[in-house]
Amino acid sequence: MKTLIPLLGILLTSASFVRAVVETEDLASAVAAGKVIVTFSGNGGSSGDAIEATVVITPKAGGDLVLTVAPATRLQSGNSSAQNMVIASVRGQVVGGNRFGARSDVSVSATPKSYVFDAYCTDFEKDNPSTGTQFRLGKVDPVLASILGQSNSTTVKQVAVWIYTDKASFSHVNQKFNVTQSDWDAAAAIAKKCSAN
């Protein structure tokens, strides 16, 4: 019995540690609570790996955090001529240059880290966000969440977003963004299905 009590203590301590490491929190909630500072910026693209964010904890965090990002979290551009964006997912942590290590969450500590996000333009008529374009977190759009989960194709996802947000037409989109008829048809079907739900 004497060896069982210390063993139970070790197991309980280990279980608490594992639980603390595994628990995650939503990025928007952590920002609202003042636990993290995040700076979103564009990289010149409108679709796919188009947004980077640098994150760091504040003293309110009480330690390192692992954050998730809700699909279809909108990003509001700080530049009125640049596109607003919508996040589809976390792609990974920047490891140097144009490379990143794949990750589906955001690990935040006192050392600033940068992450790449799969994101899509929600304003067809505006300019692509540059590296100087800053964004602030917006709300999650349930229709966009459904749209972004329907295809693995960057082109199809982007076109479906524009059909939903801008009521864009095939000919108008092709003036700035090359899309085939088959990709357009797939995107139109997704936008129609998701908008109807």
Mean pLDDT for 42-63 is 95
Task: State which amino acid sits at residue 15.
Answer: A
* pTM to 2 decimal places: 0.86
Residue 36: burial class (beta carbons within 10 Å; 0-12, 13-18, 19+): buried
Segment 145-162 shows an average pLDDT of 97
Of residues 18 and 37, which shows the higher confidence score? 37
The Cα–Cα gap between 95 and 52 comes to 12
> What's the chain's average pLDDT?
90
Distance (Å) of CA 188 to CA 17, 161, 165, 182: 48, 9, 12, 10
Q: pLDDT-based confidence at 96, cuts 50/70/90?
A: confident
pLDDT of residue 116: 96
CA distance 166 to 124: 7
Tokens linked to 94: 């920047």
**pLDDT the model gives residue 3:** 54
**Predicted local confidence at residue 18, as pLDDT:** 42
pLDDT of residue 5: 53
Confidence of residue 94 (pLDDT cuts 50, 70, 90): very high
Phi, psi of 42 (to 5 degrees): -80, 175
Query: Stretch 98-113: mean pLDDT, rounded?
Result: 93
Continuous segment of H or E residues that includes residue 67? strand 65-68
| pLDDT band (50, 70, 90) for residue 99 | confident
Q: What pLDDT, on the 0 to 100 scale, is given for residue 21? A: 53
Q: Do 191 and 163 touch, CB atoms closer than 8 A?
A: yes
Exposed e or buried b per residue across 46-64, where buried means at least 16 C-beta atoms within 10 angstroms of its C-beta? bbbbbbbbebebeeebeee
Name the CA radius of gyration of the chain, rounded. 20
- Per-residue pLDDT averaged across 48-64, rounded? 95
> Is residue 2 pLDDT above 80, yes or no?
no
